Chain A
Amino acid sequence: METLIINVLLVMMAVTVAVLARVRNLFSVIVLASVYSFLMATVLVALDAVDVAMTEAAVGAGISTVLLLGALSLCKGEEAKPLHRPWLPLALAVTCAGLLTYGAMGLPPFSDPQAPIHTHVAPTYLKEAVVKTSVPNVVTAVLASYRSFDTLGETIVVFTAGAGVVALLRRRRRPQRQEERS
């Protein structure tokens, strides 16, 4: 039953992306991207990844959509025009898909307890995280304590993105348009 729900949601995501590639109105594209993010968050809940689902719903479906709509309002909603027929990119994409699928057949099947992912560090984390940190949520314990350097780097990346956007979009006292036209 769980597998059925997950597979149905995955098919819905694939359909959404296939429609998104064809639609030309940019507002519809952004709304479809938001729908895709929400479906992704639902699949993540079905896969028992509750922390990731909350972050994807808040960041992917929330903040990304707000930023895209803000940028669209600044770019005045032009639509994508059809280019020359994309035969070469399509052929390239299909070739890559074929090669990747051939490689993916060698990966472990879905929900296999003997898969290598479950044998190295993860059982140690599950057993010891509560004992050493008394924090029941193992994801928070690993994120903030065992892998604290990664989280420090990520916080600095977020800060850098904010500083970059400020540097790009800051207004000077004089209007920008006249400077760029000259």
Chain B
Amino acid sequence: MKHDLVLRVVAKLFLPFILLFALYVQFHGDFGPGGGFQAGVMAAAAVMFYALIYGLPEARRVVPERIVEAMMALGVLLYLAVGIAGLVLGGNFLDYFVLAQDSVQGQHRGILWVEAGVAITVSGVMLKIFYMFTDRGQADE
């Protein structure tokens, strides 16, 4: 599909808006519908869109496999780190009240980091599964 001029130009125009919308949904999840899962899936969809138009090797050059595999694990580790931070600072596991001086501010911080961890893991996993399925098909030819 990289020989089709219209698709190439439109893809390049759309991609920053898709990624921006994913970030908007992630951070605006406190005030409207949204949150980590939706944002992670949208970010992965943006890279999948790029891979469909420009080909898988090009997408692999932009988002390498090592980064995607690292993202899969980093999100879960971030979530667990927030939980352990609650333990270290004197509360229970995954206790957000102790994360800041003001307990409401602590809840805000806890929710922010936890949702970020979820988004990183979900986007990494969705993208990695896409890479695996497409790669299996390419190598069969």
Q: Do chains A and B touch in the complex (CB under 8 A)?
A: yes
A residues bordering B, Cβ < 8 Å? 50-51, 53-55, 58-59, 62-63, 66-67, 70-71, 73-74, 132-137, 139-141, 143-145, 148-149, 151-152, 155-156, 158-159, 161-163, 165-166, 169-171
Residues in A neighbouring B75, C-beta threshold 8 A: 155, 159
Which range contains the number of B residues in contact with the other chain?
Answer: 35 or more
B44 CB to nearest chain A CB (Å) = 8
A140:B130 contact, CB within 8 angstroms? no
B60 CB to nearest chain A CB (Å) = 14
B residues bordering A, Cβ < 8 Å? 25, 29-35, 37-38, 41-42, 44-45, 48, 69, 72-73, 75-76, 79-80, 83, 94, 96, 103-104, 107-108, 110-111, 114-115, 117-118, 121-122, 124-126, 128-130, 132-137, 139-140
In Å, the complex CA distance between A169 and B83 comes to 33
B31:A162 contact, CB within 8 angstroms? no
The residue in chain B whose Cβ has the minimal distance to the Cβ of A45 is: B33
Interface of B is mostly: helix
A67:B136 contact, CB within 8 angstroms? no
B30:A151 contact, CB within 8 angstroms? no
The residue in chain B whose Cβ has the minimal distance to the Cβ of A159 is: B76
B34, B110, B124, B133: the one contacting A162 at CB < 8 Å is: B124
In Å, the complex CA distance between A149 and B33 comes to 21
B29:A70 contact, CB within 8 angstroms? no
Q: Give 5 pairs: A residue, B residue, CB < 8 Å, sorted on A.
A: A58-B41, A63-B45, A144-B115, A156-B76, A169-B132
A50, A66, A135: the one contacting B48 at CB < 8 Å is: A66
Give the one of A70, A71, A149 with max B CB within 10 A.
A70
Residues in B neighbouring A163, C-beta threshold 8 A: 72
B41:A145 contact, CB within 8 angstroms? no
Given contacts A71-B133, A165-B132, contact A137 B107 (CB under 8 A): no
Given contacts A70-B137, A145-B111, contact A162 B79 (CB under 8 A): no
Given contacts A58-B42, A140-B115, contact A161 B125 (CB under 8 A): yes
B114:A63 contact, CB within 8 angstroms? no
Identify the 8 closest CB pairs spanning chains A and B, nearest first: A162-B125, A70-B133, A50-B33, A133-B107, A58-B41, A144-B111, A169-B132, A135-B30
B133:A169 contact, CB within 8 angstroms? yes
Residues in B neighbouring A140, C-beta threshold 8 A: 29-30, 34-35, 111, 115
A143 CB to nearest chain B CB (Å) = 7
B107:A145 contact, CB within 8 angstroms? yes
